[in-house]
Chains A and B, each alone.
Chain A
């Protein structure tokens, strides 16, 4: 059983306040949509939640099966897709997933990883360098990475960026699946994406 609690969270970059006094809590099978204008701190909030950057104030508490986890312990519970997160373009799609699995302490077979790549619509492209991928294909590969661990908490920032109709329907399937098995947090500017959340937070007033 996973839960995530955010208390009095605030972030400043130098003297510039990005957001302050963010509070919410999420249990398994719940979802949150974070919305707001450009620069309101949606991506920053997601990065703080998964431990990529530290908050200036407040805390993020993640509990799994009754145990409160440290930032390093909780990192393996997250799946993350965001424009800021790039894969290694000098490696093939399969090499990227092999590296990202092994460094996380996973030991998947190549067939298992090929199946994950095929699931996001990149079958038979696993041995191509990411360098040669279109932006939509790179976005799909990010989903394959995010789903490596069957994440307990899935964070999606502008999830349908660069995706075609087929890609968007793939995202819809993943979002529905995640809402049944864990926590989903989605940052978006699109009003059509608001339907994904049980809760909505508006940043930047």
Chain B
């Protein structure tokens, strides 16, 4: 059987397809993410539903639900490979770039699936009116992308550690703080009905965060993955 010079993007797509197939058969991360999201959302809506909350508090709660839900599942992407001892075979057959992109796409798919369920529920349960939908969606997209870029590289680092949960929280906090603050601010502006131009500085910051985090992750991944 001869090796064909297949595109790395195609190989990443094969890794994504494999991960999605495994995930939908076991629901290893999906159940954790969805249950955490639904529980948090229910608690928030029951305790706050009677009050009229300011856009600042609402947008903070919105991102807290997304952040904590994603934390419970996105870190599993490499932990699962380590725990099921399939990491060696993956290292043998795939280049680090292929693995990083495949896992990043898988985490993105997982987060988008979560948001498809959680965002409409949050809007209904919190009786939310989004006055600038395009700004809201743009902040959500770039914020999610930033969250995925950061958690994928952090997940690689913690997968080799013993105290995975604690290390994930410790590493995530300083790395994700600027992203969350910016995303919360951008969401607040969209809830207040501010013009797209008013949220542009937040969007620019989110896009820069994604670019920096993606480039840093690509550069670091080979070292972290191979050690």
Chain A interface residues toward B at CB < 8 A: 47, 50-54, 72, 75-76, 78, 80, 82, 84-91, 95, 99-108, 112, 145, 148-150
Contact = CB atoms under 8 A, between A and B. Distances in A.
A102 B13 CA distance: 10
B22 A105 contact: no
26 contacts: A50-B92, A51-B91, A51-B92, A54-B227, A78-B92, A85-B89, A85-B92, A86-B85, A86-B88, A86-B89, A87-B86, A87-B89, A90-B25, A99-B17, A100-B89, A100-B93, A101-B1, A102-B14, A103-B15, A103-B18, A103-B93, A105-B6, A105-B11, A106-B4, A145-B89, A149-B1
Contacts, number: 81
- Best-buried of A89, A104, A106, A108 by chain B (most CB within 10 Å): A104
Nearest to B22: A90
A103 B26 contact: no
Given A105-B11, A107-B4, 5 more contacts: A50-B92, A75-B93, A87-B86, A88-B86, A108-B1
What's the dominant secondary structure at chain A's contact region? loop
Contact of A91 (B6, B22, B95): B22
B86 A86 contact: yes
B94 interface: yes
A148 B1 CA distance: 7
A149 B226 contact: no
Given A88-B18, A105-B6, A112 B1 contact: yes
Contact of B226 (A54, A91, A148): A54
Given A85-B85, A95-B21, A149 B26 contact: no
